[in-house]
Amino acid sequence: MKSMSNIFKGEAFFTFGETTKSVINPDPCNRAWVEVDSKAIENNSLVLKNFVGEHCSLMAVVKADGYGHGAETVARAALLGGADSLGVATLEEGIELRKNNFDCQILILGNLINSEELYSAFYWDLIPTISGIREAIICNNIAENNNKKYVIHLKVDTGMTRLGCNCDEVKELVSKIDYLENISLKGIYSHLAIADLDHGKKIGHSYTNIQFNKFQKALNNLGARKEFLCKHLANSAGTLSDSRLHFDMVRVGLSLYGYYPANDFESNLNLKPALKVKARVTLIRNVKKGIGVGYGHLFKTQRKSKLAVVAIGYADGVNRALSGKISALIDGALVPQVGAIAMDQMVFDITEKPDIKIGQVVTLLGNDGEMSISPHMWSDLSGSIPWEVLCGFRNRLPRVVT
């Protein structure tokens, strides 16, 4: 008679007592993971660099861990593709890149407020964004104590109403900053508030146009001084919308990762999505009609059903608001997710695809064969934006670079 252990022998890939590498460090693709195509990012960087032309430099925005793709991976691929500099949101993100030996210019897009932070940025040769004289003076003191110059970029608010000085203060502020001997003001910039909503139209009468005019006017007030500054205004939407927004540099995030700022954004650029989110089927269930599935029984089977339990949940970054709204790709076919998305698991109705097996790979975002699911689809369903979808994937999901 067969013993119990013999029944499962065919399934075991190692015998007990023997320790293989995959036991000590399990395969990152066992449960759920994010696949990052670094070649796609390199391609997008090259495409964007060619698009803006040789007189405009390309800053790859790699904040929030490279929009969830892994900052180091993205920075490396973007620079290979032709990006000239990197943009981060925080001091720590900048330091992390320096520790990984990135030696290009790195601009911190957030506001550093105290002398400790600003000294740290100075030490690591990171460029801070300055919105007023208060921080400029702190920077000057730090640089003076070290007998060096502190390179900064000045931010102007043209209508985002977030960071930046008022437009009408620019001229006076620049002369005050220039008076500080240990400050080297190298750049001036602003940020667009609704360029993604202008849907890639020529900027014409849009709010983006108002911002463009304000920026232009503030620059003109500087006279010849502006020629010595790196002037920049455009994010992805601005970059793709109108070349008048390019100035000396563009700061591109979303499009570097392969996405357009809006679903119906018109562009012939050959951008490639770099990210896929995948997970495995961990159990197949056959259930009767009328059975409640998952927390709150948000879904009840309408027929005798076959269900697949998949090992990914909201703790991995799949927003619970997507419960019962998304589909995923298994074997190149769409299958609907049913019931509430739980912290670590969710369920798919595979009644129409009964051949699906335990261990099979489920593609939640990205393509599988001809079909593809974009972060726009998720954000439209959850009332979010693709930016948030991308940077929502948690560290629990290993990043696998392909």
Ligand X SMILES: *Cc1c(COP(=O)(O)O)cnc(C)c1O
Contact positions vs ligand X (CB under 6 A): 61, 63, 109, 191, 235-237, 251-254, 261, 387
Which residue's CB is nearer to ligand X, number 237 or number 312?
Answer: 237
Distance CA 140, CA 119 (A): 10
Which residue's CB is nearer to ligand X, number 236 or number 301?
Answer: 236
Distances in Å between the alpha carbon of 245 and those of 128, 189, 191, 263? 22, 11, 11, 21
Least distance CB 80 / ligand X (angstroms): 19
Given the residues 49, 63, 214, 278, the one annotated as active site: 63
- Find where tokens 């269930």 sit: 285
Given the residues 201, 217, 295, 300, the one annotated as active site: 295
- CB-based contact 290:338 (threshold 8 Å): no
Least distance CB 56 / ligand X (angstroms): 14
Which residue's CB is nearer to ligand X, number 259 or number 314?
Answer: 259
Can 179 be counted among the known catalytic residues?
no
Distance CA 353, CA 197 (A): 39
Total residues found in the chain within this entry: 402
Least distance CB 218 / ligand X (angstroms): 16
Parallel, antiparallel, or unpaired: how do β-strands 165-166 and 183-189 relate?
Answer: unpaired
φ/ψ bin of 199: left (φ > 0), alpha (ψ from -120 to 50), beta (otherwise): left
Which single residue brings its beta carbon nearest to ligand X? Answer: 253
Q: Both tokens of residue 147?
A: 């007998």
Distance CA 146, CA 20 (A): 53
DSSP 206: S
Least distance CB 370 / ligand X (angstroms): 28
Least distance CB 191 / ligand X (angstroms): 4
Which residue's CB is nearer to ligand X, number 211 or number 363?
Answer: 211
Which residue's CB is nearer to ligand X, number 43 or number 345?
Answer: 43
End-to-end CA distance of the chain: 47
Can 357 be counted among the known catalytic residues?
no
Which residue's CB is nearer to ligand X, number 203 or number 307?
Answer: 203
Q: DSSP labels for 348-386?
A: EE-TT-TT--TT-EEEEEEEETTEEE-HHHHHHHHT--H
Least distance CB 175 / ligand X (angstroms): 25
φ/ψ bin of 376: left (φ > 0), alpha (ψ from -120 to 50), beta (otherwise): alpha
Least distance CB 155 / ligand X (angstroms): 8
**Burial category of 398 from C-beta neighbours within 10 Å (exposed 0-12, middle 13-18, buried 19 and up):** middle
Beta strands in 253-360 (DSSP E): 275-287, 292-293, 299-300, 305-310, 327-330, 333-338, 346-349
Q: Which residues contact 179 (CB under 8 A, 6 or more apart)?
A: none
Other Cβ atoms less than 10 A from the Cβ of 42: the count is: 21
Catalytic positions, written as ranges: 63, 295
